[in-house]
A and B are shown apart, each in its own frame.
Chain A
Amino acid sequence: MSEIDSHTGAPDDDLLAAEYVLGVLAAPDRGAAARRIERDHAFAASVAGWEARLAPWTDEIAPVVPPAAVWDRIAGSLPAQKAPASSVWENLAFWRGLTVATGALAAASIAALVYFGTAESKSPLIASLDGAGRHVFVATVDPRRATVLVVPASFSPEPGRVPELWLIAPGGKPRSLGLLNAEKPVTLVVPAGLLPRANTQAVLAVSIEPPGGSPTGAPTGPVIAQGKLTNL
């Protein structure tokens, strides 16, 4: 283990790993380092090495038993049934890696061919929903099932606000597809009337809304991310 740790990556990379684990990076650099862990094994090993070095420092922190209500909240918020770990479509690391490396789109295309077959008119569409220079969510439309799978990439939730997904066809008003989750992939049903508009002319956007979603049926909060649908 120590041999692996001491020989992984360039010295600069090991310093970046040290800075990340120490917690000294400001938000943009921290986010970039976190995304790199998902796609760069040598960097991830450097990070793990620093985690092992620094974790004993927390011996100085006295344990504090959390209030009993916290466990109840956790138990209540677990998904009803855990998705099979083997499903690449639910695998966050896979999608995070994909959002970072555009070259990975080719690999995803192959996966999509295997997964969806080759029916052309029903082929899946993908959109990287970007904002402020970051990939915030990744959305994949499966026309055959009339669903859209939305995976969080670097979304930072705001307390008391929820992200809502919108489909915007050329010349059309934004139509809500439902609420997203900051923590995990969400599969939303695309209403039959909207499905034909979910094509490469359309844009998906995410706005920040009050709990329960926009009260008006149109985005009321800031649009934090958007992206064009493209063929996978």
Chain B
Amino acid sequence: MDLDANRSLLVAALGRVAAGDRAALQTVYRLASAKLFGVCLRILREQSEAEDVLQEVCLTVWRKAGDFDAGRASPMTWLIAIARNRAIDRLRAGGRSRRMETIDVATEVPDTGTPADVALERTEQNERLQVCLGELAAHESSALRGAFFDGNTYEELAERMNVPLGTMKSWVRRAMMKLKTCLER
């Protein structure tokens, strides 16, 4: 897929959505819904809930397209943030994340990179992020993955990794700051 062309199409379509153009919302949907639905499904792990949340995402886009600023964010970043936020809000409303299996860092395959078969649209930014994630300790990247992909809270991560809550908070905070420093290098 031509990412630049896709981006321009999305930016133009979001501008028309902000002006109340329904056909433009359908264009956004055509270009982005598979990605956004994948994100919702990954976090929610339940088809009908992911469908509901995708609908909420589209209504949010319809209402807030005027807030999107192409000079400040990529359209996919903006859309993915809405999808993740809505999916996580839904998890929180339900009380508990769906994925709560124990994370055992000792036996877990370390996250040294994305397996080729799942990195469908590996971008330059993703390569860079993978390098920086690879610099984290195994327990740190496991914790971040649990939060990012499973929607786990601090409390849930502490439970899954069998460490005190305070330890988990300092792991995650330290890992996020390391990640930021690495990405800005």
Interface set of A (CB-CB < 8 Å, partner B)? 1-2, 6, 14-15, 18-19, 21-27, 30, 34, 48, 51-67, 70-71, 73-75, 77-78, 81-82, 85, 92-93, 156-159, 183-184
Bound CA–CA A59/B117 (angstroms): 11
A56-B126 contact in complex given A19-B172, A63-B38, A81-B20, C-beta closer than 8 Å: yes
A15→B26 contact, CB < 8 A: no
Interface size on B, residues (CB 8 A): 73
- Cα(A60)–Cα(B22), bound, Å: 31
Q: Which one of B37, B133, B176 lies within 8 Å of A19 (CB-CB)?
A: B176
Identity of the chain A residue whose Cβ is nearest the Cβ of B76 in the assembled complex: A55
Please determine whether B42 and A73 come into contact, CB atoms closer than 8 angstroms.
no
B137 at interface by CB-CB < 8 Å: no
For the complex, is B25 an interface residue (Cβ under 8 Å from A)? Answer: yes
Contact of B63 among A24, A30, A184 (CB under 8 A): A184
Cβ contacts under 8 Å, B39 to chain A: 58, 61
Contact: B62 with A78, CB < 8 Å?
yes
Q: Which of B51, B76, B179, B180 contacts A70 (CB 8 A)?
A: B51
With known contacts A26-B155, A53-B183, A62-B120, A70–B81 Cβ distance under 8 A: no
* B6 beta carbon closer than 8 Å to chain A: no
Q: Once the chains bind, are B119 and A60 in contact (CB under 8 Å)?
A: yes
Closest residue of chain B to A93, judged by CB?
B67
CB of B72 to closest CB in A, whole Å: 6
20 interchain pairs, CB-CB under 8 A: A15-B176, A15-B177, A23-B84, A23-B151, A25-B154, A30-B88, A55-B81, A56-B126, A57-B129, A59-B119, A60-B114, A62-B38, A63-B120, A71-B26, A74-B25, A74-B55, A85-B18, A156-B89, A156-B93, A183-B63
Q: How far is the CA of A73 from the CA of B144 in the complex (A)?
A: 34
Q: For B163, list chain A residues within 8 Å (CB).
A: none
CA distance A81 to B21 in the complex (A): 10
Q: Is the CB of A64 within 8 A of B176?
A: no
